[in-house]
Chain A
């Protein structure tokens, strides 16, 4: 091996191409041309465009000439598959294998994410479009369905009773679940031990309990055993059982993010556990706790199956949660869309749209207050805090001055 190699190397060296080259330097005065740092090259864009055009053309050929396919959904799916294939071929013409794999997987990831986003937007859009005929009438928000017949036009009857029912049920459920959930979360954070670990395990397991089981539980206890009627109160209890573990777990996660240094500083200053929790831990985690409560609220508003089992159904506006059946928005949507009349279907979609608006509103609130980690302040909070410490400083200075002015202050003498 070596011998052959040495023999080959000992031949006359090829005279072409100089061994080294001197890089051309820019002239002393001239600005060097900046190297473009962009990640996207013209060729990449062309490859994407070309693959897309080829895929569209091939699918069009398939659809119109070669085979009996039909349908927009299938067209898009086949186009996408062909696009990925063409793109892989195009990239592999002038790149190596790893680069080709990188490009193709980037395309796949982008399109999966886009598919999810488009599906979500489409679902929301579709609901509003189908609901539009009902939403434009004012009576939709100010009347209930007590005197509305199934085939009545949309200018008669509305969903006021369901809106009131949803708000009442969710308020009662939150009035039960939020304090309980927060207290339990504080317990998990402040009194660690074997019992706390058990509670945490059970709560975590229950966050994914199917919502219908909460309804089943309340139906079997409150209604069948304790004789409560199908009513808003029963539905509220079922909703509370559903959202309690959700709020508790989310709050627990947030409380664990509170910096330990802050809590230890509070203890070091002599505060007891209760004062530390009330004045340090909870205020630090405030925005996170609000997020937990809002997520729980959004869940409670949208739950259909607990009220389906426990609330009954009515067409009348009802402010009494204890004694008679109560309608809620998701339930109304569920019942109305199964009717054979287009007006009722529109009303059902209208109820779902109102529900969506409520959830979107909650998320707008969430966006405004939340999303911040514990201890991160808004600009306004920072200003307020700075002003307060300036006031404190003035107060300290005044106290020091007063102490200096009083000659026989105890302890100030030598």
Chain B
């Protein structure tokens, strides 16, 4: 039985990734693959670090993050409030609205991007609108399903204590559905980050997607790989952060038992009020820094290879 602490297990686990990194370094070095197509791993890392200075990577990073957080906040506000009001006070209407909402959520966000760009122009509003549209559907659906699956006893107990609708919503319903909402937020962030990169590729003055697209346009392989790496790492970190948040907030959740694998029980950090306040401060910080960077980006002007020859506001 292979145990987690076994050296052989450890070596096998890193063999895949290590093999790939080694190949990445060696294949271009010995010119088996042209370095135009696959630059050396060290070149890519070097370019990545350089991009912080030459191409102002920090600005693009914070702008992208800022857009995601902004869109997420708006979508969460609309989605959660709409979901709670619809599902708690008009359950039958919600049931019949379900097909309509499903159809609307299936509308391809990519196809809506030009619509939003035509509506809002090539500015921040269009990108935030796309993120909001994409985020709203998972949040709305999960809120509605959360309300539907509320333990009726909780509601009945609260009603027997004669509480009004506001207290009902904020003290009973919201805490009970918070887990579902969080799942919706997680799904929303994943998809919307994805869409944001696409949206920035189609028309933006700053952002990680723009970096990638410009590099692709000029066939600058190290930058393509480096910005791709940044995008992937950012996506993965966002996801892992949300999972960490979820495990910390809902620390009572037990992992489904995987019958055949031996798992060491992980120590999860319980997130209490001080930690949450710290996270909230970080978010506000990102919003603040992001908005400054966005202003800076807009002052710097249009991107060098604009597809759209429209005039901006």
Partners in one complex: no
